[in-house]
Amino acid sequence: MRFLPLVFTGSSILSPVLAQTTDQPDPPAPTPTGIDVFANVTLYQPDDSTQVTVPRTQSLPNNTVLAAWNDPSSNGSIAIYRSINSGYSWYSFGTATSDSGKKLLQPHLLYINGTYAEDTGTTLLAVNAVDDYTTTIELYTSGDQGESWELASEIANGGPLSNASVAVTNPYLVYNGDAITVFYSGNGDNTYAQKIVQQTTTENYDSWDNAVDVVASKFRTDRPAAPSIAKIANNQYIIAFQYGSLDPKTNTATYPIYYKITPNPQKAASDRTREVRVDTGLVPNGVPSVTWTPLGGANGTIVLSDSRSKSVFVNQALGEGEWRELKTTAGRAYGREVTVRK
């Protein structure tokens, strides 16, 4: 499987494209990292019978990048790959292994560049630990930049992955000041079939607050899911997600991408939900990935990827107004990532 589009600046395939999408003066050139522009690097190649999806990466100091992905064929572990040249080449580096023997799926990585809970430079890995009957959002920690991992906490529990109404899925980690927050698709209750919720810890890795709704619909059949979060200009955050709903005309499910802009990702429930509206009329669909770069003008540029097109979508007005479609040479993929390398 090819793991791009990972959209890089500094290396940089993103900045020349952005320079063409604004009438403002050209943004400053990215700081060179010593790595030439590149595309379509194969990170990992599974056998022909395996479909790996939703690649997720995390930048560490000194041009180091970690990667993990969703592999349904994995047996109680998740492989961690590493690059020491900003993603140009990769090698197997570490493994996170389930204490209970459950299958570990839907990983998300986060590096804390500083001190938290008396630990310095800790790498976090959120996963969904799955068996035939349960789903569990778990948190693993690494003190050696991703080579070895320890289970730190079980955050949330739900029913089987085969039933979205009772499962918990798609964890996404955010470090905001002194707080670590995990966003995930929450199991339903008597009001909602599915919703996006978050839980936060401010002291350690295993004392999590109660779940708080982030996105919930008044319609029972709606299924908001798969959050992706990025900090943008003016200390705002964008929370992007797919919004599963049933088309009454065709009786089929659709998954357009919606988003929220909020000053506080832990208190985003009251912020309005917006649909991504694109200048070409294309409707982004499927699991999203969102990031922000300071390139592209005073507000920088929000860059969004979906799961059903080769394009990316950009907004240089802090999420207001229309989005622009930018075609790329990268392939279409489920849950593909767009990110910025600093």
Strands 237-247 and 252-254: antiparallel
Asked if 43 and 52 count as a contact pair (C-beta separation under 8 A), the reply is: no
Mean pLDDT of the region 224-243: 95
Q: What is the mean pLDDT of residues 269-293?
A: 95
Residue indicated by tokens 């590493």:
82
The mean per-residue pLDDT over the stretch 306-328 comes to 95
Residue 241, strand partner residues: 258
Residue 151 in this model has a pLDDT that exceeds 90: yes
Which DSSP letter does residue 330 get? S
Query: Which domains does the chain show, CATH number per domain?
Result: 1-42+226-342 (2.120.10.10), 49-216 (2.120.10.10)
What is the number of residues in the chain? 342
* Element containing residue 57 per DSSP (H, E): strand 53-60
Q: For residues 176 and 34, which has the higher predicted lDDT (pLDDT)?
A: 176
Neighbouring-strand partners of residue 261:
238
CA distance from start to end of the chain: 25
Cα(226)–Cα(293) distance, rounded to whole angstroms? Answer: 22
Res 19 pLDDT > 50: no
The pLDDT tens digits for 157-193 are: 999 998 877 899 999 999 987 899 999 998 766 677 7
Closest by CA to 1, choosing from 245, 340, 339, 331, is: 331
Q: CA torsion 72→75→78→83, rounded to 10°?
A: -90
pTM: 0.88
- Cα distance between residue 126 and residue 137, in whole Å: 7
Distances (CA, A) of 264 to 110, 196, 270, 303, 320: 18, 15, 11, 20, 17
pLDDT at 27: 52
